[in-house]
Amino acid sequence: MSTLVLANPPFKGTIDKESIAPGLLNVTDTTKTELLFLALMLRQLKNGGRAAVIVPDGVLFGSGKAHKNIREEIIANHKLEAVISLPSGIFKPYSGVSTAIIIFTKTGSGGTDKVWFYDMLADGKSLDDKRNLLVEPEVFDAFSFGDAFAKEATKDQEHLHSKFNLPDILARYPKRNEDKRARTEQSFLVSFSEIKDNNWDLSINRYKEIVYEEVMYDEPTEIIERINNLTRERNQILDSLISLK
């Protein structure tokens, strides 16, 4: 039995049903490896044990019975703490699949109250096959190997945030239950009851609010007049050039 699981299990695999332990099928009746691994982690964890697992996005919103069952199991019977959406391309050049990190505690008696969602947009590297660093190596290393990043000036941290969300995630996670940000922001809380009412859907796009900026266009008559003016100017220039011959 384990007290901590950190995992990035294989995605999109299947296994012969005869090879699956009956105890796992009681949690989610499926041959999909990404769902079975979650069931296995729940079985391997001690009560109070915690897990942080990378899963493909389909686990978060899949409409099949097995997908819903594993989500309900984690949310209703244990304690789901956070869903951190990862940017597409984070596993390139090996895979372009969209993924997320789910963090939960095994309780056997529920405990999910509010789930913290974070929409991670940048991990400090380009999201193409090259995966080049977008920040200085010493900045990336300072974050990865100690608290040097936290000592950076606030202004510098804010400047780096558009390319490097990881420090912000770690800073906000311990205070996630106090997150008061609106759903138009990068992180926010969603209640247990709302998730339940949405068929246990854990896709951040289900709850995130998009603000659409209104665009004002000129009247068609104004656009036509500008085109006519440009045409007259062009003809004048052409006439001038012709007169130079």
The reply to whether 221 falls in a domain is no
Per the structure, how many domains does the chain have?
Answer: 1
Q: In terms of Cα–Cα distance, which of 3, 10, 39 is closest to 22?
A: 39
Does residue 132 sit within a domain? no
pLDDT confidence of 41, banded at 50, 70, 90? very high
- Average pLDDT across the chain, whole number: 89
Percentage of residues in the chain having pLDDT higher than 90: 59
Does 146 score more than 60 pLDDT? no
Q: What is the pTM of this model?
A: 0.82
Pairing of strands 114-119, 187-191: antiparallel
DSSP 8-state symbol, 225: H
Parent domain of 110 = 2-121+165-212
Tell whether the model's pLDDT for residue 148 goes beyond 60.
Answer: no
pLDDT at site 133: 94
231 in any annotated domain: no
State the Cα–Cα distance between residues 231 and 222, nearest whole angstrom: 14
Which residues have C-beta within 8 Å of that of residue 93, sequence separation ≥ 6? Answer: 129, 130, 131
Asked if the structure places residue 63 within a domain, the reply is yes
The first and second tokens of residue 50, run together, are 């915690």
Whether residue 19 lies inside any domain: the answer is yes
**Domain CATH for 72:** 3.40.50.150
The answer as to whether 114 is a domain residue is yes
Q: How many Cβ atoms sit within 10 Å of the Cβ of residue 173?
A: 16
- What average pLDDT does this structure show over 36-50? 93
pLDDT in tens, 66-76: 999 999 999 99
